[in-house]
């Protein structure tokens, strides 16, 4: 499954910017394929790209309509179905990151069949994976890991790819979540894979490659997240990372969704992730800390990065504020 580009980003009646964060990620990282946004009355999100309806998108050459948001009930809003049928009739594919499959909606499934179009429910793997074999494969791999979920692992991997490519390094981003898949055009939504096959799916996602090629693999969850740590561990083992980058947000009060769980100590979190990675790649090391310091003012952010650099002995950057060059320098040393 590879998504055809360019995209129309369908954000429906998203009540705020956060509700459209998948579309935001796509528009930020792939502006050249994000030709328009489709908003309905009541939408309070704005991606800062041209508004288009379905007909205008087709005329502009859009190949895939990305459905990255639901209404407040987690399902398609009233009237959305007809709009998406129209998109199929005008020759566009659909791609969705929703929990409920678009392919489970009879009208959409029938329209896609009738028009010879594809519907990609990227949160649901459509192929079977083998069990992981743990056999070391050629090519270099970097995996982003985190103290928590939703803490900048995708952003960091994409920033690394951009910086490494700018330096002429042969590098690819490997997507493991829905937003990453829309950005990359393919990938595996790893938390939707049956648990037995997680490591195998990751081995498939970043297979053997040239010795100087880097896969920059989007991490998921956290070894310290009581709900999802198993996903993270399977991902670490399948990735066989040569390098880890730890992602962190210094003002977060508790683990996402778990009010009684504090974030782990950064040093312990790094040590445990390296320990886990060394099972399938004994040479694994941590090469840096990527901080989302957006909640701090400039001086506090500078202090935090410097202090963390001293404490961990690793380059410590904020990809937005300082760029990610310091980590790439360390990686290439």
- Judged by CB under 8 A, the stretch of 14-22, 108-116, 128-136, 316-324 that binds its own copies is 128-136
Give yes or no for residue 257 binding its own copies (CB under 8 A): yes
Q: If binding is defined by CB under 8 A, does position 134 make contact with its own copies?
A: yes
CB closer to its own copies, 225 vs 248 = 225
Asked if 270 touches its own copies (CB under 8 A), the answer is no
CB closer to its own copies out of 131 and 300: 131
191 binds its own copies (CB under 8 A): yes
* 218 belongs to the binding site for its own copies (CB under 8 A): no
**Could you say which of 101, 109, 186, 261 contacts its own copies (CB under 8 A)?**
261
If the CB atoms of residues 135 and 299 are measured against its own copies, the closer one turns out to be 135
Q: Is 235 helix (H, G, I), strand (E, B) or coil?
A: helix
Regarding 233 and contact with its own copies (CB under 8 A), the answer is yes
The closest of 80, 236, 9 to 145, measured between CA atoms, is 236
| CB closer to its own copies, 254 vs 307 | 254
> Position of tokens 């037995």?
196
Task: Please enumerate in sequence order all residues whose Cβ is within 8 A of that of 302, keeping only pairs 6 or more positions apart, or say none.
Answer: none
Helix or strand holding residue 121 (H, E) = strand 119-121
Tell me the number of residues near its own copies by CB under 8 A: 37
Contact between 226 and its own copies by CB under 8 A: the answer reads yes
Burial class for 168, CB neighbours closer than 10 Å (0-12, 13-18, 19+): exposed
Give dist(CA 274, CA 276) in Å, integer. 5
The number of C-alpha atoms within 13 Å of 56 and in the hemisphere containing its C-beta is 11
Residues 6+ apart with CB under 8 A from 223: 145, 229, 232, 233, 236, 269, 272, 273, 276
CB of 36 to its own copies, least distance (A): 32
Pick the stretch among 272-280, 282-290, 303-311, 314-322 that binds its own copies (CB under 8 A): 272-280
Angle, helices 21-29/153-166, rounded to nearest 10 degrees: 10
Tell which one of 7, 29, 80, 224 touches its own copies (CB under 8 A): 224
Q: Which stretch binds its own copies (CB under 8 A): 65-73, 88-96, 150-158, 227-235?
A: 227-235
- Does 193 engage in binding with its own copies (CB under 8 A)? yes
Residue 15 Rama label (left phi>0; alpha psi -120 to 50; beta): alpha
Residues 277-306 that bind its own copies (CB under 8 A): 279-280
Which one, 26 or 193, has the nearer CB to its own copies?
Answer: 193
Q: Is 195 in the site for its own copies (CB under 8 A)?
A: yes
Do 272 and 223 form a contact (C-beta atoms < 8 A)? yes
Query: Both tokens of residue 132?
Result: 């992981």
Taking CB under 8 A as the criterion, the residue among 230, 274, 278, 330 binding its own copies is 230
> For residue 253, what are the CA distances in angstroms to 147, 258, 261, 271?
12, 10, 9, 22
- 179 φ/ψ angles, rounded to the nearest 5 degrees: -65, -45
Peptide bond into 78 cis (omega under 30): no
131 part of the interface to its own copies, by CB under 8 A? yes
Catalog residues that contact its own copies under the rule CB under 8 A: 131-135, 190-196, 198-200, 223-224, 226-235, 237, 257-258, 260-261, 272, 275-276, 279-280
């Amino acid at each position: 499954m590879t998504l055809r580009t360019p995209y129309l980003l369908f954000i429906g009646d998203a009540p705020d910017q956060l509700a459209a964060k998948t579309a935001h990620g796509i528009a930020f990282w792939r502006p050249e394929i994000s030709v328009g946004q489709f908003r309905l009355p009541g939408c309070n999100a704005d991606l800062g790209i041209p508004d288009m309806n379905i007909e205008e998108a087709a005329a502009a050459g859009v190949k895939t309509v990305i459905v990255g948001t639901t209404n407040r009930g987690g399902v398609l809003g009233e009237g959305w179905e007809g709009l998406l049928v129209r998109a199929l009739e005008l020759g566009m594919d659909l791609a969705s990151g929703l929990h409920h499959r678009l392919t489970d909606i009879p009208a959409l499934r029938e329209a896609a069949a009738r028009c010879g179009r594809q519907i990609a429910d990227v949160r649901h793997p459509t192929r079977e994976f083998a069990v992981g074999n743990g056999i070391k494969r050629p090519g270099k791999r970097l995996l982003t890991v985190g103290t928590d979920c939703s803490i900048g692992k995708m952003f960091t991997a994409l920033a690394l790819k951009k910086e490494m490519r700018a330096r002429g390094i042969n590098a690819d981003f490997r997507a493991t979540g829905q937003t990453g898949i829309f950005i990359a055009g393919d990938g595996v939504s790893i938390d939707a894979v049956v648990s037995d096959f997680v490591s195998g799916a990751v081995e498939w996602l970043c297979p053997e490659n040239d010795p100087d090629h880097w896969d920059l693999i989007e991490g998921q969850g956290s070894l310290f997240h009581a709900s999802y740590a198993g996903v993270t561990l399977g991902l670490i083992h399948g990735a066989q990372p040569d390098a880890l980058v730890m992602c962190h947000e210094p003002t977060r009060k508790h683990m996402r969704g778990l009010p009684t769980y504090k974030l782990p100590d950064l040093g312990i979190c790094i040590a445990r992730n390296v320990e886990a990675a060394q099972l399938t790649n004994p040479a694994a090391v941590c090469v840096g800390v990527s901080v989302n310091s957006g909640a701090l003012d400039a001086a506090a952010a500078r202090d935090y990065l410097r202090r963390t650099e001293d404490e961990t002995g690793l380059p410590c950057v904020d990809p937005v504020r300082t760029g990610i060059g310091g980590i790439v320098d360390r990686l290439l040393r």
